[in-house]
């Protein structure tokens, strides 16, 4: 069975150009930013493509078509014909009203996110199936594609143990919100991007902890400590703050401008820019507290102004709870719990929504510092070294056979809990082992080289002794 892509191609190209324009697709491998079709298969002319395969695995062709006359007996459906059918079929399994989504293009817009290598199947192949079907399908409106995310100067590779995947990411102890922030902030929207452990740790410590988290914690702790957790009356009426405010005109105008930038970015599905704007707004909040001189002295000398600053800072935090939700929903929930406020929509301007007399929840830190030494730990752990590395390091000590076996078990024993200190020491041992092996591989052997090898082996033994002590206290 074949799909006559060549017959459908004129309609498919017309649809691609129209959807690209109205949906504001990101530039991709099928159509570029100028609206020119660049896919070589389209430029060379599509050809009929089989919908079935002669394989032993896959989704079988429906039984009514498995007849000798039709030549379908024992065949399975081509995966890229079957897989997109999963989109509406998943919806149909969820609700009998699935057609309200999938045959309702006047009221439903379909947004799709994918890596660049899957673009053809979602912009040419599957739309051609929908067009050829003839029914009024809800078809792709906006396409958001990404380039490749590489790893520490190279590529991710499961087969080579290079990079962090799935459960291993959880085992690092890095909270999901931090993973979400870092990966979205480096999302390769226009070019390939690079995963870096040092950048990941810096994102947590410098951006989330010192900027975003600091603003929220500082303001709410001030309310808790100096106002018993009750928002004071700063004189602001409910509703939008005036951009001509006597004290904070520049602050209000700046926040309102950034809110517009955020909304524009999200409407255009520029996720990385939207997240950057969230952090700019929290930075503006930090600057506001600093420039306003929020402290005990201000409360004593000008209680009205102090209450006003507190009220406006808290309401900016309320705004941030909505802005950060698409990126870090757990963080948003935590902010709302600390504010003791319900979820809200994204506003167009800064307003007084949390009023005087409102009692907040308990302020807590949203993020915790990640120690810098963990960068080296994770680089070694996920750097692509073979699993035999640790036993090889043990061999470098030139101990007896029994000692070597014991040393290997000390380093690799899965029953011993791996604290950050243990992981850091294991990383140092791995590095020191590489130094020893490198020296042993040098020629010619000289007295000076033998002395250097002995010194490095002694250093390795010392590290192993420290590790054995840590493991004995941790077990």
367 Cβ neighbours under 8 A, 6+ residues apart:
175, 177, 178, 204, 208, 209, 212, 213
Give the whole-number percent of the chain exceeding pLDDT 70.
Answer: 89
Look at phi and psi of residue 163 and say left if phi exceeds 0, alpha if psi is from -120 to 50, else beta.
left
- Cα separations in angstroms, 395 against 408, 459, 464: 8, 14, 12
Residue 396: pLDDT band (50, 70, 90) is very low
How far from the centroid of its chain's Cα atoms is residue 287's Cα? Answer: 27
Sequence-distant (≥ 6) Cβ neighbours of residue 381 within 8 angstroms:
423, 427
Compute the distance between CA of residue 453 and CA of residue 394 in angstroms, rounded to an integer.
15
Whole-number Å distance between alpha carbons of 354 and 234: 12
* CA-to-CA dists, residue 91 to 7, 94, 220, 467, 471, angstroms: 30, 5, 42, 53, 51
Q: Is 364 left (phi over 0), alpha (psi -120 to 50) or beta?
A: beta
| 31 contacts 20 by C-beta, under 8 angstroms | yes
pLDDT band at 448 (very low <50, low <70, confident <90, very high): confident
Average the pLDDT over 421-429 and give the result. 71
The whole-number average pLDDT for the span 308-316 is 98
Task: In whole angstroms, give the CA distance from residue 279 to residue 185.
Answer: 10
* Cβ contacts of 391 within 8 Å, gap of 6 or more: 404, 407, 408, 411, 412
pLDDT tens, 21-74? 999 998 888 998 888 999 999 999 999 998 888 888 888 888 777 777 777 788
Res. 443: pLDDT tops 80: no
Q: Identify the DSSP state of 384.
A: -
Q: Are strands 239-240 and 149-151 parallel, antiparallel or unpaired?
A: unpaired
pLDDT confidence tier of residue 475, bands split at 50, 70 and 90: low
Main-chain dihedrals φ then ψ at residue 352, nearest 5 degrees: -90, 100
Q: Which tens digits make up the pLDDT trace of 112-146?
A: 999 988 999 999 999 999 999 999 999 999 999 99
Alpha carbon 74 to chain centroid, angstroms: 42
pTM: 0.77
Dihedral class, residue 293 (left if φ above 0, else alpha if ψ from -120 to 50, else beta): left
């Amino acid at each position: 069975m074949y799909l006559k892509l060549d017959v459908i191609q004129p309609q498919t190209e017309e649809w691609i150009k129209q959807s690209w324009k109205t949906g504001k697709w990101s530039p991709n491998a099928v159509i570029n930013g100028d609206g020119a079709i660049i896919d070589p298969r389209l430029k060379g002319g599509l050809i009929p493509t089989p919908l079935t395969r002669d394989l032993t695995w896959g989704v079988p062709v429906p039984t009514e078509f498995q007849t000798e006359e039709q030549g379908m007996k024992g065949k399975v459906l081509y995966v890229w014909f079957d897989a997109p059918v999963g989109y509406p079929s998943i919806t149909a399994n969820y609700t009998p009203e699935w057609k309200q989504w999938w045959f309702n293009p006047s009221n439903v817009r379909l947004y799709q996110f994918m890596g660049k290598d899957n673009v053809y199947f979602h912009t040419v192949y599957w739309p051609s199936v929908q067009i050829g079907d003839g029914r009024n399908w809800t078809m792709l409106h906006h396409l958001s594609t990404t380039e490749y995310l590489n790893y520490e100067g190279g590529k991710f590779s499961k087969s080579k143990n290079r990079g962090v995947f799935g459960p291993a990411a959880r085992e690092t102890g890095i909270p999901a919100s931090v993973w979400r922030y870092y990966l979205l902030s480096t999302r390769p929207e226009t070019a390939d991007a690079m995963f870096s452990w040092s950048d990941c740790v810096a994102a947590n410590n410098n951006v989330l902890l010192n900027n975003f988290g600091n603003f929220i914690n500082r303001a709410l702790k001030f309310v808790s400590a100096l106002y018993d957790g009750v928002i004071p009356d700063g004189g602001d009426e409910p509703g939008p703050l005036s951009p001509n405010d006597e004290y904070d005109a520049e602050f209000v105008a700046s926040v309102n401008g950034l809110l517009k930038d955020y909304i524009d970015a999200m409407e255009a599905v520029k996720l990385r820019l939207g997240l950057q704007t969230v952090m700019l707004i929290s930075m503006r909040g930090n600057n506001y507290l600093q420039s306003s001189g929020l402290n005990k002295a201000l409360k004593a000398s000008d209680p009205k102004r102090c209450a006003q600053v507190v009220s406006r800072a808290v309401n900016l935090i309320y705004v941030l709870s909505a802005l950060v939700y698409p990126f870090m929903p757990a963080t948003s929930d935590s902010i709302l719990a600390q504010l003791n406020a319900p979820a809200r929509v994204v506003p167009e301007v800064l307003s007084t929504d949390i009023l005087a007399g409102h009692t907040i929840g308990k302020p807590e830190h949203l993020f915790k510092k990640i120690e810098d030494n963990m960068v080296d730990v994770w680089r070694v752990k996920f750097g692509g070294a073979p699993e035999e590395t640790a036993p090889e390091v043990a061999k470098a000590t030139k101990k007896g056979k029994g000692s070597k076996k014991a040393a290997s078990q000390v380093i690799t024993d899965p029953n011993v809990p791996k604290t950050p200190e243990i992981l850091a020491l294991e990383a140092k041992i791995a590095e020191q082992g590489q130094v020893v092996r490198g020296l042993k591989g040098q020629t010619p052997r000289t007295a000076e080289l033998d002395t250097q090898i002995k010194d490095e082996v002694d250093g390795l033994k010392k590290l192993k002794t420290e590790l054995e002590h840590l493991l004995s206290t941790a077990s």
